[in-house]
Structure 1
Amino acid sequence: MSVRIIVDSSADMETEYAAEHDITIIPMTISFGEEEFAEGVDLSRTEFFERLVESDELPRTSQIPPMVFQDLFAEAVEAGDTVVCITLSSRLSGTYQSACIAAAPFKESVFVVDSLNATVGERILVERAWALRDEGLEAADIAYCLDQEKQDIRLVASLDTLEYLRKGGRISGAAAMVGGLLSIKPVVTVEDGEVVVAGKARGSKQAKNMVFQKIDEAGGIDFTRPIWVAYSGLSDKAARKYIEDTLAQAAAAEEAERDDAAVPGDLPLTLVGAVIGTHVGPGGVAFAFFARE
């Protein structure tokens, strides 16, 4: 009997990476007008952003229906396996509820975890799941640990524009126009499973400073647990500069505090997928990490 780990595609995990760690990804559906695509299957992340910047209307994303989960859960249980299923925050999508409905007949074998996060914030929780599985924990114990550890996850992001929040109805057109004129760069976090605007900075430099401030407020990054940086759009240049500055600050702090936690030489970087990319637009940079305190 083995433990299967299942996650929806909003975790922004590459298919090759998932295959290497024996993780099953269920794609979410993206619609541009009448065209529907399975995220990561029919439409790559790069193709998504190419379409997004050319589209006058926001694409639509659809939650995964219970039947899709049920088929996978039933197949696993019939094979004698157990399942840990990790989903996008229940505050952002009905996908968690779909998974719970599908898991109901398999109470002793299938365990659903609400990540209360999104994109790489969800991803690092999935990475903890396979690490715990490799340590030999059973599905129920993995799910319990994830429910505890997810409270330590922080996701902080700077956005390049307010325009996509306007298109999604998150802010008014007037606010977006003023933000554009003033070069306002919003900084957002995920709190209790919801995306919250933590502040609005004047220009990219202030936005970066605000992101680092939010990281400091979390007590810094726990480099002993998974961390990911994500960018949205077609260029990772800004994200790589963020990484360079983050590591420089962390190394300086380590030396000043004589901390035993080694700062890595680099941080993993990935491209945001369609589910979150729809609402943040191109030019965003996000950090997902476990807080030290």
Structure 2
Amino acid sequence: MIKIITDSTSDIDLKYAKELNIEVVPLKVIIDGKEYKDRIDLQPEEFYDLLVNSQTLPSTSQPSPQDFVDLYETAKNNNDSVIVITLSSVISGTYQSANLAKDLVDYDDIYVIDSLGTTQMQRLLVLKAVALRNEGMNAQDLYTFLEEYKHRIRLFAFVDTLEYLYKGGRLSRTAATAGTLLKFKPIIGFDEGKLDVFAKARGTQKATAKIIDLIQQDGEMDLDEPICIGYTGSSDGLDKFENTLRETLHFAETLHGIVGPVIGTHAGPGARLIAYVKKQ
């Protein structure tokens, strides 16, 4: 049997994880000196309430190797193979913790994958792993496939407020103030594991149009693969964002999800995102 493990930044809640038959290792979120286990002690909706009212920017800490060791030991005792999918190693040491744990349990049948992303990007990689496992693919082939597949996953988002990018050190005070006055919305995404600002646009409508431009410039979406629409804070107005994208890009069904604390801390409430798989 193949055991699939991911971390809580994949934005897969515990009930959903049970349905998928996977394990989720929580990251920790520190807000005003208090530590919470992501999606165990603190749900995303509660997090955004705390974020808005917090004097300082929350911080997150990676799981310890021991958090993975316990799951690995169980798999080893059952002779199960293990596939681990973590958030980008560029923004967190979770990938490193998962690898250290592998050395500690001294078990070769563990494959650790750096997703090069997080949130709905990571979720798409996990869903692919689950589908292929359920079809009977072995762990070695699954690992090889996912290492290729992850490079086709894309995420584009616009941020509603510049305040949190400024607080997190990703924008200067001058740029944040000027951008706020001009109602600029940065378009963010991932480039080989690094969170980057790709463009900026004035207002929600133009930001959505810019995301469509970036998707079309990058190549064709694979409409046979799942598409995720995500948000931070409240989902108000999410249907308008989704329908605008659908009219041009012609996708059908979508998955939805609220973004957790790791990206939510930097994006702040009101962000909108699309994650999808690029055609080969």
Shorter-chain TM-score: which interval?
over 0.9
Q: Distance in 2 between matches of 1:81 and 1:190?
A: 33
Q: Indicate conservation of the 8 Å contact 1:11/1:123, yes or no.
A: yes
Matches within 5 A, 1:194-205: 194-205=194-205
Name the residue aligned to 2:131: 131
Name the residue aligned to 1:239: 238
Amino acid at match of 1:292: K
Matches within 5 A, 1:30-179: 30-104=29-103, 105-179=105-179
Q: Distance in 2 between matches of 1:290 and 1:205?
A: 24
* In the alignment, structure 1 residue 5 sits paired with structure 2 residue 4: yes
Q: Distance in 2 between matches of 1:213 and 1:15?
A: 35
SS for the counterpart of 2:220 is coil
**Alignment RMSD (CA, Å):** 1.2
Q: Indicate conservation of the 8 Å contact 2:32/2:55, yes or no.
A: no
SS for the counterpart of 2:145 is helix
Deviations 1:110-168 (A, max 9, x none): 11000001110111000000011011111121111110000101111111111101101
Amino acid at match of 2:28: T
Q: Indicate conservation of the 8 Å contact 2:32/2:54, yes or no.
A: no
Report runs of 4+ in structure 1 exceeding 3 Å deviation: none
Name the residue aligned to 2:263: 276
Deviation at 1:108, TM superposition (A): 2.4
Amino acid at match of 2:221: I
Deviations 1:6-57 (A, max 9, x none): 0000000122211111010111101112211111011110000011111121
Name the residue aligned to 1:25: 24
SS for the counterpart of 1:216 is helix
Q: Distance in 2 between matches of 1:220 and 1:244?
A: 18
Q: Distance in 1 between matches of 2:213 and 2:16?
A: 31
Name the residue aligned to 1:185: 185
Q: Distance in 2 between matches of 1:240 and 1:77?
A: 45
Amino acid at match of 1:171: L
Amino acid at match of 2:62: Q
Q: Distance in 2 between matches of 1:196 and 1:250?
A: 23
Deviation at 1:220, TM superposition (A): 3.0
Deviation at 1:107, TM superposition (A): 4.7
- TM-score normalised to structure 2 length: 0.97
Q: Indicate conservation of the 8 Å contact 1:154/1:218, yes or no.
A: no
Question: Structure 2, unaligned stretches of length 5 or more?
Answer: none
Q: Distance in 2 between matches of 1:68 and 1:15?
A: 16
Q: Distance in 1 between matches of 2:223 and 2:102?
A: 34
SS for the counterpart of 1:282 is coil
Deviation at 1:250, TM superposition (A): 2.7
SS for the counterpart of 1:201 is strand
Q: Indicate conservation of the 8 Å contact 2:156/2:274, yes or no.
A: yes
SS for the counterpart of 1:237 is coil
Q: Distance in 2 between matches of 1:138 and 1:106?
A: 20
Q: Indicate conservation of the 8 Å contact 1:218/1:292, yes or no.
A: no
Q: Distance in 2 between matches of 1:237 and 1:140?
A: 42
Amino acid at match of 1:278: T
Q: Distance in 1 between matches of 2:220 and 2:201?
A: 21
Q: Distance in 2 between matches of 1:107 and 1:225?
A: 33
CA 131–106 in structure 1, closer or farther in 2 if over 3 Å, else same = farther
SS for the counterpart of 2:237 is helix
